Amino acid sequence: MTDPETSTPPDPMDEMVYEVDDADTVLRAVRRGDLTDQCLRHRSVGVLFRDAEGRILVHRRAKTKRMFPQYYDMFVAGMVPFGESYDEAAHREAAEEVGQTGVRLRTLGRFRFDDAVVPQCTTMYEAVVTGPVVPQASEVEWFGFLTEDEVRRALDEWQFCPDSRALYQTVYLGVPAPSLSRFADPD
């Protein structure tokens, strides 16, 4: 929401997000900027979108992004803000980043990504594009739909976000990443 007196949008680094432990137990709410500055474990979501032909939506992050500017990603992803569930965050990210509303999300699993820069507990989803892709300019500077073979080749040639690379290789290619572990599915 914009401050009516200054017309300045709120700083996204002031948004409150979850800090969690290795088991995804909430420790506290913390400013997003503090969380990223201190490399604290957080909750995140990622949605892999396919078109009607099964191709995968891949995008390049905007050069203004604080973390991994101009890296490629095959997931529409983001942190889970304080007060939101994983599912709510996934729907919001899909709408905000690429204009996909009302999509049916299929949960792929929950994962812990152990990394010095972006430690996180992530819930991964897959969905089919339901309308035109409308990228948010502050998030996405390029996008395209690639076949699975093209994504495999791009992983060797392009610079992808490390968490997305590990998740894609583990979930879709069956190549375990030492930094990634899967949470047990609930009974």
Q: Six-digit token pair at 142?
A: 């390029």
Residue 151 maps to a domain: yes
d(Cα 86, Cα 180) in Å, to the nearest integer?
A: 18
Q: Six-digit token pair at 25?
A: 């137990």
The SS3 assignment for 90 reads helix
For the residues 105-123, what does the mean pLDDT come to? 94
The SS3 assignment for 67 reads coil
Residue 5 maps to a domain: no
Residue 174 maps to a domain: yes
For the residues 98-111, what does the mean pLDDT come to? 95
Q: Classify residue 139 as left (phi > 0), alpha (psi -120 to 50) or beta.
A: alpha
Residue 6 maps to a domain: no
Residue 15 maps to a domain: no
pLDDT tens digits for 63-84? 998 889 999 999 999 999 999 9
Count the domains in the chain: 1
Residue 12 maps to a domain: no
CATH number at residue 136: 3.90.79.10
What confidence tier does 187 reach under pLDDT thresholds 50, 70, 90?
Answer: very low
Residue 22 maps to a domain: no
pLDDT tens digits for 27-48? 999 999 999 899 999 999 999 9
pTM of the model: 0.90
Residues in the chain: 187
What confidence tier does 3 reach under pLDDT thresholds 50, 70, 90?
Answer: low
pLDDT of 153 > 70? The answer is: yes
Closest CA to 57 of 74, 72, 45: 74
**By 3-state DSSP, what share of the chain in percent is helix, strand and coil, each rounded to 5?**
25, 35, 45
Provide the pLDDT for residue 7. 67
Q: For residue 172, what are the domain limits?
A: 42-182
pLDDT of 161 > 90? The answer is: yes
**Beta carbons within 10 angstroms of residue 99's beta carbon:** 15
Provide the pLDDT for residue 186. 57
Residue 187 maps to a domain: no
